[in-house]
Amino acid sequence: MAGILFIISAPSGSGKSTLVSELRKQVSGVDFAISWTTRSPRGSEENGREYNFTARAEFQRMIDTEVFLEYAEVFGNFYGTARASLDEARAAGHDLLLDIDVQGGAQVRAKMPEAVSIFVLPPNPKVLRTRLRNRSRAEGVVVEAELYRRLSEASKEIENYRQYGYILVNDILDRAVAQLEAIVLAERFYRNGESIAYRSRRVLEVAAACLQMNAQDRLKPVLEAFGIDGSDGSQRQLDFGDDPSQDDPQDDD
């Protein structure tokens, strides 16, 4: 595609959708691929806005007719990106952003190695739990089993961070949004020679600091909090406990 393909993945509840929606307010020319899913709409979600919601039989038909660039089963439901999203972004001369899980990320990278991949991390398990719970409350449903399922998958998903070029730790929202914006602008600058004007040096520095190879110092405490040993990838028991130092900086729960 003419534009840049961005893949963004994160454990559920890390704030990926929030970051993407903020980015789209700040930066023009980035399309968002609306995925297909067999899960039911949540809260205020509308068909055709957050997702295209569909039945399993129809999703299977779409798999059989090779509608999808990638698809995966996540938390017992199917999710997929239609190839048409790429065609539409290409026709408009826009970049395209895919919010997909780590399985989908691997499929897309295999087909399109030039894609820019970004992994978003919550600062620690306790903050992740609070964000998932707050989101559920805001949507008017708290299903403990679903919360637990998403939390217990988080460490497994985080272990895949090594496959991503950029790492964002979403603690302070404004800072994480600025980092995501810097990554998009820096990639446009390097790949398309697009001007980023007077802010260029700072933007390039912010983006470079988010490259996985430069983000090890910020990554280490997050991996430790999630029980992941950065050296060998092994996992230990998780702590979703009440250590006040792990509170969300923007949360009063």
Binding site for ligand ADP (CB under 6 A): 10, 12-18, 131, 134-135, 138, 170, 173, 176, 248, 250-251
For ligand 5GP, the closer of residues 83 and 220 by Cβ is: 83
The distance of closest approach from Cβ of residue 133 to ligand ADP in the complex, given in angstroms and rounded to an integer, is 9
Contact partner at residue 74 from ligand 5GP, ligand ADP, none, CB < 5 to 8 Å by partner kind: ligand 5GP
Return the residue matching tokens 């404004």.
Answer: 174
Is residue 128 close enough to count as binding ligand 5GP by CB under 6 A? no
Residue nearest to ligand 5GP (CB): 104
Length of the chain: 253
Binds 22: which of ligand 5GP, ligand ADP, none (CB < 5-8 Å by kind): none
Determine, following the binding rule CB under 6 A, whether residue 101 of this chain makes contact with ligand 5GP: yes
109 or 135: CB nearest ligand ADP? 135
Pick between residue 95 and residue 188 the one whose CB is nearest to ligand 5GP: 95
Cβ pair 228, 159 in contact under 8 A: yes
Name the one range near ligand 5GP by CB under 6 A: 20-28, 98-106, 192-200, 224-232.
Answer: 98-106
Using CB under 6 A as the binding rule, whether residue 79 contacts ligand 5GP is answered as yes
Question: Least Å distance between CB 169 and ligand ADP?
Answer: 10
- Which of 104/122 has CB closer to ligand 5GP? 104
Span from 52-60, 100-108, 140-148, 183-191 in contact with ligand 5GP (CB under 6 A): 100-108
Residue 220 to residues 5, 119, 170, 198, 212, Cα–Cα distance (Å): 28, 15, 14, 33, 11
DSSP codes joined into one string, the chain: --S-EEEEE--TTSSHHHHHHHHHHH-SSEEE---EESSPP-TT--BTTTBEE--HHHHHHHHHTT-EEEEEEETTEEEEEEHHHHHHHHHHT-EEEEE--HHHHHHHHHH-TT-EEEEEE-SSHHHHHHHHHHHHHHTT---HHHHHHHHHHHHHHHGGGGG-SEEEE-SSHHHHHHHHHHHHHHHHHHHH----GGGHHHHHHHHHHHBGGG-HHHHHHHHHHTTB-TTT--B-----S--GGGS-TT---
Q: Nearest residue by C-beta to ligand ADP?
A: 15
100 lines the binding site for ligand 5GP (CB under 6 A) = yes
Q: Which stretch binds ligand 5GP (CB under 6 A): 52-60, 74-82, 167-175, 208-216?
A: 74-82
Does the protein bind ligand 5GP through residue 39 (CB under 6 A)? yes
